Amino acid sequence: MSLGIDIQGLTVRYPDVTAIDDLTLRLAGGKIYGLLGRNGSGKTTLLSLIAAYRRVREGRVIVDGQEPFENERLTQQICLIREAGDVVIDGDSVGNILRRARLLRPTWDDDAAERLLELFELPRRRGVSKLSRGQRSALGITVGLASRAPLTMFDESYLGMDAPSRYAFYDALLEDYMEHPRTIILSTHLIEEVARLFEEVVIIDRGRLVAHEDTDTLRMRGAAVVGPAVAVDDFTAGMTVLGEQRLGGTKSVTVYGDIGEDARRVATDWGLELSPVALQDLFVHLTKGDHA
């Protein structure tokens, strides 16, 4: 089971800043979504509203056809794991936290929780205050995955986790998702690391929607052009260049913009290789601008 999300004209204002600015977004559900945005772009605010941590004041947030705020049927099915420490209460043990999560979540899976504890080498009896930062994150991830909530959201939940643990998380998430499809939203700044998981990508900037597309389509908004330096320079002349690298006589230039069939044929004739743009390069391009 998975939940769809329909957001219409959502606005969140603080005295100094408009965190979400007339945002309209529809996620059909049953996919893994990447939520990308620079610092302060409104990701946490958006996820908190979807998770019913707070009431919507302007606009609408609809999950599975209903407003989630103070809606017990829905909130049992929505799990938001924020950065390290969120699901934990100091003084509690790992085991107690899992027991509590199990009571709250009708879809909870004990075996999955057990496997994840082993994977992340989390000691069940250890007090949470004695866990390292990475271990706290791993506990949050364990709760998020084992909850099997039809809508599960991870908001930069990997903080403090080392690279092997993060990769173990990505693999565990993918495996679990294949066996139990649901709606998963991942907000992250480690874009290239997680990009392979995203089926669709949502980019927000200053509370506004910048892009919402399936990942492959988004990556086709430009191209990485590789080949002999002179030919690459000629081919990309006049295009919006996102970055370039040179190694001897070979050059790689990343460009933004549609490259039509004719241009692609020219590239082939000139011995150039065209491949989709890295998500991170696109993200930087689409969200650059004055953030002062």
Ligand X SMILES: Nc1ncnc2c1ncn2[C@@H]1O[C@H](COP(=O)(O)OP(=O)(O)OP(=O)(O)O)[C@@H](O)[C@H]1O
**Interface contacts to ligand X, rule CB under 6 A:** 14, 17, 19, 37, 39-45
CB of 141 to ligand X, least distance (A): 17
Q: Sign of the CA dihedral 147, 150, 155, 160?
A: positive
Nearer to ligand X, 53 or 69 (CB): 53
The β-bridge relationship of strands 240-247 and 250-256 is antiparallel
Assigned token pair, 49? 């509203």
CB of 16 to ligand X, least distance (A): 6
Nearer to ligand X, 44 or 165 (CB): 44
CB of 38 to ligand X, least distance (A): 7
Nearer to ligand X, 29 or 42 (CB): 42
CB of 48 to ligand X, least distance (A): 8
Amino acid sitting at position 129? S
Nearer to ligand X, 13 or 124 (CB): 13
CB of 282 to ligand X, least distance (A): 18
CB of 66 to ligand X, least distance (A): 23
In terms of Cβ atoms closer than 10 Å to its own Cβ (0-12, 13-18, 19+), residue 193 is middle
Assigned token pair, 285? 């391009």
In terms of Cβ atoms closer than 10 Å to its own Cβ (0-12, 13-18, 19+), residue 54 is exposed
Nearer to ligand X, 17 or 89 (CB): 17
CA angle 272, 255, 212 (to 5 degrees): 125
- What are the DSSP calls for 199-240, one per residue? SEEEEEETTEEEEEEEHHHHHTTEEEEEEEHHHHHHHHTTSE
Assigned token pair, 52? 């019913």
In terms of Cβ atoms closer than 10 Å to its own Cβ (0-12, 13-18, 19+), residue 232 is buried
Nearer to ligand X, 14 or 118 (CB): 14
For the chain, what's the residue count? 292
CB of 158 to ligand X, least distance (A): 13
- What are the DSSP calls for 17-79, one per residue? -EEEEEEEEEE-SSSEEEEE--TTSSHHHHHHHHTTSS---EEEEEETTB--TT-HHHHTTEE
Nearer to ligand X, 126 or 189 (CB): 189
